[in-house]
Structures are given as C-alpha cells and as structure tokens.
Copies of this chain bind each other. A is one copy, B any other.
C-alpha cells in the first residue's frame, strides 16, 4: 500500500522548537502574499492561447532538465523518458515514461525537485499518496484528467496561484507576438517580457547568424554596422518596454566587462560580423556589450541582470544528439572583482542604474559579491541561483551575504523556472527559508521580532517590487543622469 503524501505545515522551518515557533509566526505573515516572479522562463504562448496541457509527462517531466539530468546520471536513457532529441520526440509512450520516472523517484530524496514536485502533486493536483511505481498510473490518470478541465488551464492557474507579476524571457530576435496577443486579449494577468539579447551578442552561439538576420528584419536597421547594431538594440529595448519589460538579462560564460573606446568597439564589431574573430574577440565583444547595455540602461531605466559562470553544453555527445539545455550545463569558478571593474569604472556610481548580479560560484558570496553590492550604488545581489535555489543554498546565501551587504542590497526571490506549476512551491520554499533565517537572528537576539517581521515583508515583497521597478510608471526622467561621485565631488 502506498505511503500517504502530506505537506507538513512546519516543513523547512528550523528544528529547534523555540526558533521554529518564531519562524512559524513570521511565515504566517507572508505565506499568502501574492507572488512576484521577476525572472523566469515560462512560455508566454501558454497565457496567450490559454490552451490545456495534455499529460503529466509532457508537462512535468520532459521539459524539466533538473529531473532528467538526475535520472540520466543514474543510467536511465533519455529516450525512455520521452525527452526530445535533435531527431524529434522519441516514440515513447508518455505513460511508460512516467512509470519509469516514478520507479526512480527515490533518487530525488534530499533535492529541491522532490520538494517542488510533492508540493505540485499535493497542492495543485490534490494527490493524497506518494509517487512511486505502484501509484504511477494513478498519478498519470489523475493529472491527465485535471489538465483537461478549465480549472487547470494556464490563466486559471495563474489566478489560483495568486501571481501578481510574471516576467518571461525573450531574445532580441523574438517578435513578442505571444505578449502582444496577451495584451490584445484584455486578460488582466500581468505577464511581461525581459530583454535577453545574448543571441545577437554571443557570436559563439550556433544560431548567431539567423538571430542577427531576424534582428535586422525586426528593426530595419543595418545591424552589421556598429552604429546600426546599437540603434537596433535601442529599438528592441523600446519594443520590450512597450511589452511591459522592466529588465534585461544577460547569460554570459563569465562576468567579464570591457570599456573600449568607440573606435576600438567599432573595429571589434567589424571583426565579429565578418566572421574573422577569435574566441578572445568573442569574449571581449560580450564584455563590451555588457557595458553598452549598462549605458542604455542608464538612458532607459531598464534593470540589468547578469547571470555568468555556466559552462554550457559540457557533454559533447549529448549536445550533438540532443542540443542545448539538456541538463549538461556545469558551473565554473567565476571572478567578479576584476571582471566588473571596466563597467564599474564607467557607471559604478550611477545611482539610477541597477545591476543585479547572480552567481553559480558560492565562494564569491562573502568574498566578492557582498562587498561589491555593499559599496556600489548600482549593484544588487540576486538570490541564490539554479543549483543553489534550494534550502541549503538559500541558507548559505543569507549567511554569507547579509553581514556585509545587509538585506537591503538583495532583491527578494526569483523562481527562474519554466515549470509553471512549481512556481508557488518555489516561492513557498524561499519564504520558509528566509523566515527560518530571520527566526534564528531573533532567537540569538540579533534582531527584534518586529524588525524580523518587517524584513519578512521586504524579502517577500518590498525588495523585489522596488528592485525590478514593478510598480513604477514608465520613467519620465529617463535620460536624466546623476552620479553620486559627481554630486559628492
């Protein structure tokens, strides 16, 4: 007989009874706050079409590289899990794939995927027994039936999840038609885009050429000249802002920035577009473009997010057979202190510029990121990211950043997910861990209880809303620049 599935109300709260009691009180004040999701990868077409999803495998398993990377590491073939390859989706029965997943569900013990999924199963689908091989069919049927109903269509779940703001991420070469469709539909849900121009900045990406062609088409600019290329970015940034974007996002191999003269930049760009570049040129161009993007953010007020340090597509064989984003991205050691200096030399003291830094290298939390964010007016710390978006990872983030950067140089939680149904689960984990951390500070008499309560609100709601300018009207003062150092000098 299957084990029952229950989400304990005290899950993730500290075990010490006194600390737990404080954490429980804090959590009660934020548990039901609306969700603000300023950085993620859900598909805007879901909200544009509001079409039903079909089954557990195609919704929950096949798109989630957190899940199949673990199964693959234990010898499970991707085909058997219905994961599409470059040849297309395999002819795998979705139910059989789900059973295979269920029979390996123990592999996820101790991982955040397990917590998120159990939350989805219990809270979204109302399952009362655990997922295991004996309940795989029961799950597959129940989830399939639910997904066929109106209550489980994307917009209905958006409302049920009490999502107040959801940002997706689109490339510079994207026409944003799903976002336009959402807007035209008159639906009240606030789903906005984010400007992620990596595809037209990273010449080492295999799709750089078609992305540039599309970038030219969409803007009517001569994107193969430096001047036209920059103008095209400005146009697309305006398009994205018109589709609700408040932020840009930049996923680079490193945090390198550069501060070339206009002539140097123009010459480098010519090398890039003529295809005569070296890997060092490609890196320098990405570095220069972070600084160019910062310059445009000073003009138009868009918040910059920098996500560096992932060695993408590490598994050569899997990349050849299955392409990108198949769970084979591996973090690397990342420097920020020297890497960001060229950009900061130019814009570090802008008080109206906001750059949110992320890392996959936790050794930089206390050593580099907290000291940088605890000094530069333009820098803020994004939450623990990707592999570190987990209870222990979040706890380490707070322990290693708070003493130097404080709470107010952080920006609340990002779910960073394409797994829409798990968004409430992920925000709930963050709220519980933050309340547990605050409760420890109270229990150790390092914060008063009322301060912790204020901070719980800030960490859940205030910081993210301000950092991502979610409640701002379009900045009337765009173009007005103010430098703290200038002011102080």
A337 to B486, CA, bound (A): 42
Closest Cβ–Cβ distance, residue A17 to chain B (whole Å): 7
In angstroms, Cα B371 to Cα A370, docked, is 24
Q: Which residues of B contact A455 (CB under 8 A)?
A: 109-110
Q: Which among A137-145, A202-210, A388-396, A467-475 touches the partner chain?
A: A388-396
- In the assembled complex, which residues on chain B have CB atoms less than 8 Å from the CB atom of A377? 72-75
What string of 1s and 0s marks CB contacts (under 8 Å) between A403-436 and chain B? 1111111000000000000000000000000000
A316 touches B345 (CB 8 A): yes
Given A85-B489, A488-B77, A406:B112 Cβ within 8 A: no
Which of A13, A321, A367 neighbours the largest number of chain B CB atoms within 10 Å of its CB?
A367
Residue contact A445 to B11, C-beta cutoff 8 Å: yes
Nearest CB of chain B from residue A321's CB, rounded to whole Å: 4
Among residues 348 to 362 in chain A, which have CB atoms less than 8 Å away from a CB atom of chain B? 348-349, 351, 360-362
Whether A282 sits at the interface, judged by CB under 8 Å, is: no
Are B345's CB and A317's CB within 8 A?
A: yes
A404 to B252, CA, bound (A): 22
For window 296-334 of A, CB contacts with B under 8 Å fall at 311, 314-318, 320-322, 327-333
User: Are B85's CB and A15's CB within 8 A?
Assistant: no
Query: B392 contacts A370, CB within 8 Å?
Result: no
**Interchain CB contact under 8 A, A444 and B12:** yes
**Is A115's CB within 8 Å of the partner chain B?**
yes
Contact with B along A94-134 (1 / 0, CB 8 A): 00000000000011111110010000000000000000000
* A150 interfacial by beta-carbon distance below 8 Å: no
Could you tell me if A406 and B489 are in contact, using CB atoms closer than 8 angstroms? Answer: no
Q: Is A289 an interface residue (CB 8 A)?
A: no
A488, B109: Cβ atoms closer than 8 Å: no
- A148: Cβ under 8 A from any B Cβ: no
Cβ distance A443 to chain B, nearest Cβ, rounded Å: 4
Q: Are B485 and A318 in contact (CB under 8 A)?
A: yes
29 contacts between A and B (CB under 8 A): A3-B450, A8-B445, A15-B18, A15-B444, A17-B18, A70-B406, A73-B376, A73-B379, A77-B487, A78-B484, A78-B488, A109-B407, A109-B451, A110-B441, A111-B403, A111-B404, A311-B337, A315-B349, A320-B489, A321-B489, A329-B371, A330-B337, A330-B371, A330-B372, A332-B338, A333-B363, A360-B367, A366-B387, A393-B403
